[in-house]
Amino acid sequence: MKYAVIGHTGDIGKVLVKRLPNFKGFSKSNGYDLVNREKQVEAHSIFMKVIDEIVDYDVIFNLAHDNNLQSNVLTAICGRYNEKNITIVSVGSDITEIELPEERAHLKDYQFFKKKLKSTSILLKQQMEDNPNRKVKPRYVSFGMVATEKMVKKNPKMLNYPHLTVEEAVERILDAAK
């Protein structure tokens, strides 16, 4: 099995790739800046390059979230490679299931894009299942707060509330790929 990880240098991605025997990572750190807002033409070109390279992988982990990025990656792969036996696991968030209180209004954009990812995942999964010629398997996994280094540093009180460790989140992501 060959694995591709979009967002392999984030806190969850770093732990995930330690569990994968054969992977390629795509992130800013290795020249795949998919969301460079100052160089959008270049970012689109890099995005298309990633989509071209993805064809060689059996499982794709869609971790890097930045506005529409995860939904765009999922849509592009399902549209372009629908006859290839590829599993794409998109990581969402349980923030899609709650009404945000006023003091969390700063999370509304994040919530919006995670809701878009969830609905796109559900729709594409149904389309793939309805047509036996389509072999791409979109998978969606979500969970609540994860105690990543970045999150704990930003909000140490989060540890007083229900949360997953990074290792528990990675286990759920790997389970979704099965």
Tens of pLDDT, residue by residue, the chain (178 residues): 999 999 999 999 999 999 999 999 999 888 888 877 677 778 888 999 999 999 999 999 999 988 899 999 999 999 999 899 999 999 999 999 999 889 889 899 999 999 999 999 999 999 999 998 999 999 999 999 999 999 899 889 889 889 999 999 999 999 999 9
| Global confidence as pTM | 0.92
Q: Encoding tokens for residue 76?
A: 């592009």
What CATH number matches the domain at 3-176, 3.40.50.620, 2.60.120.1060, 1.10.275.10, 3.40.50.720? 3.40.50.720
| Domain map (residue ranges) of the chain | 3-176
Q: How far apart are CA 2 and CA 137, in angstroms?
A: 15
Within 10 A of 118 (CB to CB), how many other CB atoms are there? 20
